Structure 1
Amino acid sequence: MRRRIFLRGAIAVAIGLGAYWLATEPSIVHGDVVTRPAHAPDLANGQIVFNAGGCASCHAVPDQPDRLKLGGGLAIPSPFGTFYAPNISPHESDGIGRWTEADFVTAVRTGISPRGTHYFPAFPYTSYAHAKVADIEDLFAYLKTLAPVSGKVRDHDVPFPFNVRRNVGVWKLLFFDSTPFMADAAHSAQWNRGAYLVNGLGHCAECHSPRNVLGGIKSAQRFAGGPNPEGKGWVPNITQKGLSDWSAKDIDYFLRTGQTPDGDSAGGSMVRVIKNTSQLPEADTAAIAEYVKSLPPVEGPPKPPKKAEEEAGEPKQDK
């Protein structure tokens, strides 16, 4: 009897491990990349994608003025440990200089490395997955025009079991939606451009949404603000619950200058964001503004007393 129970238990464990292994297996090749014809890169668009995607915010070498020096190293705190942004300069050994276009598109849109391992979702591929392949190809071409930066970035400081990359496969099954962006015919071309930038390249929801205990965005409170995912402060609600007093022109002006309607300025991590959005074409900041202004009001999680928490990313007067 005991032997039978043991055998059944061993079989159940084997089946469970097999299911776990299959469910968390990274897909190394991204099909819609390898089947595409050769792409003629548009470097001007690649630069727009670079700025819309906020690449410099995380990957520029900290504490130096050149936002195109993409040697990485920025510490990104989280409830699961501290992640360090990698070197994405075209350096042959320390950056992505040896990557192929397919390697890059697969990494950005699926969160899978050229070695076939999962990236941690501190890399916002959950949003980048909605970007057009051509845009990511143009970004790759643009990155290759920048100066290579030497220097390996240190390993992430993430404790067990969160440091097991295979477990990210389970997380992806729960929270990773790679559905391509689809334009909404009920809205204007400008609104759709804004929706594409906000939900894809701009990855605004990654910071402006509360998360559950596993680190997944709470879809019912998307864009409704919450605790800063980097662990300090509070990120504002950018639905009409939080921005009802702002016009689309106010939002547009803020994205281009960092100045609020009453003359104050952005603070916290939003300062880095403004450095990116201020480089975008005015048509794109206007599109983002139109889309954000259209977000219906959503009640976010309750905020702690302002004296206890410094606001992150809100205008200074709201701190």
Structure 2
Amino acid sequence: MRRLIGVVVLAGAALAGAGWLLTAPKPLPEGSLDGATGDAERGQLVFTAAGCASCHHAPDAEGEARLVLTGGQRFASAFGTFLAPNISPDPAQGIGDWSLDDFASAVKRGVSPEGQHLYPAFPYTAYARMEDGDLVDLWAYMQTLPASDTPSQPHEVGFPFNIRRGVGAWKMLYASPDWVMTEAESPQLERGRYLVEALAHCGECHTPRDALGGLDRSAWLTGAPNPNGRGTIPGLTPDKLSWGADEIAYYLSSGFTPDYDSVGGHMVEVVENFAALPDEDRAAVAAYLKALPEGGRLD
């Protein structure tokens, strides 16, 4: 019996050790972007398409104040309420003392400079597909924004979800850099895929999630319950959205639907972001959505 207990204890310790190693944060290799020089003007377009200000400006900020990335907006979920952090260039309260490598690991791997997993309320599973050139340009642009010395507020997440090491196991299940639409048959579709699946991270809201909070890629963009518990987020596949490509593009520039309704909720800022992009980008998103299969199953 003692031997059996000893074997069980050793096996348990071995499994725990293996799990600890497998769930460790995995930042990008240090120096992987050495020599890269960003263009702040191009980075502004990346910043806009990625919706950085939409989540990180202060609650109720308007106009130019939305470029002060103070944080503080609250995002409710089934796992707790996440508060957007300060990502302004302030060296003490923001990310002003981060290196480009730090920024890249946070954006594409969900790993903080301190070596902790970031919660996937930050859509790094989508940003993992971001091109290195766009990431470097984004970093260059963010250095030009005003600093804020407002401290970030802690997330309101209880046990066991406050154990960040568990996010490592979550990443093993859901953090895939693979495209959902594996074949983009034209440059326009390729651009639309990049905007929808990477920069604009549309799937984060418009795709249903399973019990662990992972996106159900077999029902891609078919709609989902609103994380705050109020209503649903509409589907964007052709069986859910009957608009033509021109109507989708017009909505993304004006906020008006073909039925003369107007955009509301958090989508207001999404439309404002898309309206600031070139016409070709809105047309590319529309082409991507019209190319989706009914039911959203792409595999």
Quick one: distance in 1 between partners of 2:136 and 2:118? 19
- Give TM-score, length-normalised by structure 1: 0.88
Residues 202-238 of structure 1 show CA distances to partners (whole Å, capped at 9, x for unaligned) of: 1000100000000001111010001013332200010
Aligned to 2:263: 266
- 8 Å contact from structure 1 (residues 241, 299) kept in 2: no
Aligned to 2:145: 146
Aligned to 1:211: 209
Residues 68-90 of structure 1 show CA distances to partners (whole Å, capped at 9, x for unaligned) of: 11100000100000000011110
Report which stretch shifted further, 234-243 or 187-196: 187-196
How much does 1:8 deviate?
1.6
Give the alignment's Cα RMSD to 1 decimal: 1.8
Percent of residue pairs bearing the same amino acid type: 47
Superposed, 1:144-223 pairs within 5 Å as: 144-179=143-178, 184=183, 187-223=185-221
How much does 1:16 deviate?
1.7
Specify the code of the residue in structure 2 equivalent to 1:212: D
Quick one: distance in 2 between partners of 1:51 and 1:149? 20
Quick one: distance in 2 between partners of 1:180 and 1:243? 22
How much does 1:240 deviate?
0.4
Report which stretch shifted further, 79-88 or 259-268: 259-268
SS in 2 for 1:240: coil
- 8 Å contact from structure 1 (residues 91, 97) kept in 2: yes
Residues 225-256 of structure 1 show CA distances to partners (whole Å, capped at 9, x for unaligned) of: 01013332200010001112x11111111111
SS in 1 for 2:284: helix
How much does 1:60 deviate?
0.6
Aligned to 2:283: 286
Specify the code of the residue in structure 2 equivalent to 1:26: P
Extract structure 1 runs of 4+ deviating beyond 3 A: 179-184
Specify the code of the residue in structure 2 equivalent to 1:163: N
Question: How many residues of Structure 1 are paired with residues of Structure 2 in the alignment?
Answer: 295
Quick one: distance in 1 between partners of 2:31 and 2:164? 25
Quick one: distance in 2 between partners of 1:78 and 1:183? 29
- Give TM-score, length-normalised by structure 2: 0.94
Aligned to 2:53: 56
Superposed, 1:86-105 pairs within 5 Å as: 86-105=85-104
Quick one: distance in 1 between partners of 2:173 and 2:127? 17
Aligned to 1:310: none
Specify the code of the residue in structure 2 equivalent to 1:194: G
SS in 2 for 1:216: coil
How much does 1:117 deviate?
0.7
Quick one: distance in 1 between partners of 2:109 and 2:214? 16
Quick one: distance in 2 between partners of 1:236 and 1:35? 39
How much does 1:294 deviate?
1.3
In the alignment, structure 1 residue 132 sits paired with structure 2 residue 151? no
